Amino acid sequence: MKKIIVSAILLLLTMNTTKAQVYLDPQAPIEERVKDAISRMTTHEKIQVIHAQSKFTSAGVPRLGIRQLNMDDGPHGVREELEWNTWNPAKWTNDFIVAFPSLTCLAATWNRELSATYGNAVSEEFAFRGKDVMLGPGVNIQRTPLNGRAFEYMGEDPYLASEMVVPYIQSAQKNGVACCIKHFVLNDQETDRFAVNVNLSNRALHEIYLEPFRRAVVDAHVYTIMGSYNMWKGVHCCHNDELLNGILKRDWGFDGAVISDWGGTTDTWQAATGGLDIEMGSYTDGKLKESEFTYDDYYLARPFEKLIEEGKIPMEVLDEKVARVLRTIFRTAMNPDKAIGSQCSDAHYEACRTIGEEGIVLLKNVATSKKEHPLLPLDPTKYNKILVVGENATRSLTQGGGSSELKTLHDVSPLEALQALYGDKIDHAQGYTSGRAIYDQVDRIDPARQAALKTEALEKARNADLIIFIGGLNKNHRQDCENGDREGYALSFDQNELIGELAAIQQNMVVVMFGGNPYAMPWIDSVAALLHCWYLGSEAGNALVNILSGKVCPSGKLPVTFAKRYEHYPYVKYINESYPGVNKQVYYKEDIYVGYRGFEHDKVEPLFPFGFGLSYTTFKYGKPTVAGNTVSVDVTNTGEVEGKETIQFYIGFEKCPEDRPLKELKDFRKISLKPGETKKVSFTVGKEKLRYYSIASDKWETYDGPCKIYIGGSSANVQSIKL
């Protein structure tokens, strides 16, 4: 009898081990692979795959040949390789990459195809570096111009951010690299980012802040999502049950993995039951190096395993996390179609430059005397001495800024590109210094040095017949940098005074600004031309010079409102409670009236409105016409050069029982027109354009009253027609 039982057990065991290894079969449906893999894993192996094993990897199952996940920042290129277990550079010599323009610049292109180009190019670099998960893109809403990380996001409007992020994710993930859209959600400021609790209405949450994430999940099928540090309803978003299990997984059907922000996990029970799937970055250095806290001590490691073993949390909770991790592994690391990728290819530099060119926004361009043409594009025959002033003409803007910092193979600075085109005509004066980009610390600047730099610039300006000022923000702490917000709306480092004094010497002056945020411009009336460049990545100089010289006609449009004064931003009237918060509580009292929605609601005229951007040509809009649900308009290029125009389509709900914005962006189309050419552009009003989150019913409703349609080249330059 004993013999029979033993043989039966042996038989069962052999059956189990010889069971077809479905999980390794790339042709098998992913869900079957996942089920099969889980059935073979021990509890400990399951625990191992749901938390970090190094700074940027989570474990696979070596015994079963299941690969680990290699992750990396994000979002503008692949971050430099770091040591396995620290934030220190690994000092590799083959991890120099292309820095792509900042996501705010991408949003400013209003070009969905370019977004797909970006997603493809950057994911090829990730694939080449052996990465499976790209920590980006970011779609937090630019609610305040002080947010130190706004440059990593796509502006103030949820529709624009959604339309731009969907093609990005789709084309990146085609290469077998998962996007990890971040930071979910309400991480709209860096001040107190680890602890601030955000209070807001459900309609603001759904309409404004969740919407780009929802579209990334529902329309782009994003594979992973990063929980944010901050809290909502008093619970950290990295393991917020209502947010992750409720909205994200149940309501939107997200089937991928929720990854914590690095160090964003704070509690085992919440992490276990609150929807987190992979815990990353808890404490700074694990493995006994700087702290006693090892990878086994992670909240989702031994402490969670214990709860499972004691039966306090059912195995299904663990299995569900494992299923999500395995799905991600099969879609990326073990995806037979994963691209090999490439690094620093010509195509990547070209993508970088093209996106930069289309993202640069021409904000002002006038003639300096009545008989002249506008100052831009530059007519080189007119100038013999061109003085370039400003630190951003030479400073690397790919370094600093926090986790998005990049180690590039080759960057072209604005000064280099200008010298390449205009040769000896170019002279340079730094004009001001901003000090070093030290993470978490503002460098001390010697006032004597600052004064000397200014004197030098003013002296050189007296001999110049054209000045190109190249300044703005940079990646220093308290500028555009993670883990700190800007100290104010004004530009720093005495730039305003310098620009004012330069403009008094020479009226032929172009101002070129870099930065992820709007800023005050007390000098705007005294300069002839202004370009805003966001951050342009490795090809910064070439993209800029192609615009300055007229080789490329500018076509960028603002994804964010530039206010005349800081006080005009819609939340500021609610003082500290609305930003940066009091006692770590912040209240979004402006509700859905963020950005242009708020300026229009408050009837405040911005300096440069959302959607605004000039061209070297001019466009004439015909009268919009309506046929059924479709509104059409003819757009003609009435100038002398070929150019691109973004036609924006807004809808206002005229008779809604609830208060609504005057109008909201619902569609846009970017077209290219030759001089004299006319194109008809049509927009159809389908149900999805009439959705709104009702205060009364606390859910999405479809508006069915009269609408006013607004069509034009910016939010403030529109024609309206009733529908």
627 Cβ contact list (under 8 Å, min separation 6): none
311 Cβ contact list (under 8 Å, min separation 6): none
Write down the least CB distance from residue 53 to ligand BGC, Å.
Answer: 15
Q: How many helices (H) and strands (E) does the chain have?
A: 19, 28
Q: Which of 403, 362, 282 is nearest to 641 (CA)?
A: 362
- Give the whole-angstrom CA distance, residue 195 versus residue 402: 19
The angle formed by the CA atoms of residues 193, 79 and 161, to the nearest 5 degrees, is: 55
- Give the whole-angstrom CA distance, residue 154 versus residue 76: 12
The helix (H) or strand (E) run that includes residue 471 is strand 466-472
User: Are 633 and 680 within 8 A, CB to CB?
Assistant: yes
Q: Which of 396, 401, 390, 441 is nearest to 151 (CA)?
A: 401
Nearer to ligand BGC, 74 or 155 (CB): 74
Nearer to ligand BGC, 180 or 633 (CB): 180
- Give the whole-angstrom CA distance, residue 723 versus residue 709: 7
- DSSP letters, 381-411, are GG-S-EEEESGGGTS-SSS-SSTT---BS--
Write down the least CB distance from residue 88 to ligand BGC, Å.
Answer: 13
Amino acid at the residue 356: G
Nearer to ligand BGC, 187 or 617 (CB): 187
Q: Partners of 97 in the beta sheet? A: 408
Catalytic residue check, 261: yes
Tell me whether strands 257-259 and 437-438 are parallel, antiparallel or unpaired.
unpaired
Nearer to ligand BGC, 124 or 261 (CB): 261
Nearer to ligand BGC, 264 or 652 (CB): 264
Write down the least CB distance from residue 278 to ligand BGC, Å.
Answer: 13
Neighbours of 20 (CB within 10 A): 9
Write down the least CB distance from residue 473 to ligand BGC, Å.
Answer: 19
Neighbours of 306 (CB within 10 A): 13
Nearer to ligand BGC, 403 or 495 (CB): 403
Write down the least CB distance from residue 129 to ligand BGC, Å.
Answer: 15
209: tokens are 């802040």
Helical ranges in 412-538 per DSSP H:
414-422, 447-461, 495-505
Question: Distance of CA 532 to CAs 56, 152, 498, 583, 605, Å?
Answer: 34, 16, 18, 36, 20
Q: What are phi and psi of 244, to 5 degrees?
A: -85, -50
Write down the least CB distance from residue 325 to ligand BGC, Å.
Answer: 18
Nearer to ligand BGC, 73 or 480 (CB): 73
Nearer to ligand BGC, 82 or 553 (CB): 82
Write down the least CB distance from residue 279 to ligand BGC, Å.
Answer: 13
Which candidate in 73, 157, 188, 261 is catalytic? 261
Q: Can you state the angle between helices 112-128 and 158-174, rounded to 10 degrees?
A: 40
Write down the least CB distance from residue 219 to ligand BGC, Å.
Answer: 23
- Give the whole-angstrom CA distance, residue 397 versus residue 474: 6
Nearer to ligand BGC, 182 or 249 (CB): 182
231: tokens are 């809290």
Q: Which residues here bind ligand BGC, judged by CB under 6 A?
A: 73-74, 135, 182, 261-262, 403
User: Are 171 and 222 within 8 A, CB to CB?
Assistant: no
Residue 91, by phi and psi: left (phi above 0), alpha (psi -120 to 50) or beta?
A: left
User: Are 505 and 462 within 8 A, CB to CB?
Assistant: yes
Nearer to ligand BGC, 325 or 499 (CB): 325
720: tokens are 């309206």
Largest Cα separation within the chain, whole Å, is 110
Q: What are phi and psi of 559, to 5 degrees?
A: -90, 10
603 Cβ contact list (under 8 Å, min separation 6): none
Helical ranges in 19-98 per DSSP H:
30-40, 43-48
538: tokens are 């490795």
- DSSP letters, 289-316, are SSSS--GGGSTTSHHHHHHHHTTSS-HH
Buried b (16+ CB within 10 A) or exposed e, 176-202: bbbbbbbbbbbbbbbbbbbebbbbbbe
Nearer to ligand BGC, 226 or 397 (CB): 226
| Residue with the CB atom nearest ligand BGC in the bound state | 403
Write down the least CB distance from residue 535 to ligand BGC, Å.
Answer: 16
Write down the least CB distance from residue 434 to ligand BGC, Å.
Answer: 23
The helix (H) or strand (E) run that includes residue 643 is strand 643-653
Nearer to ligand BGC, 182 or 663 (CB): 182
101: tokens are 């323009």
Write down the least CB distance from residue 50 to ligand BGC, Å.
Answer: 18
Write down the least CB distance from residue 140 to ligand BGC, Å.
Answer: 10
- Residues with a catalytic annotation lie at 261
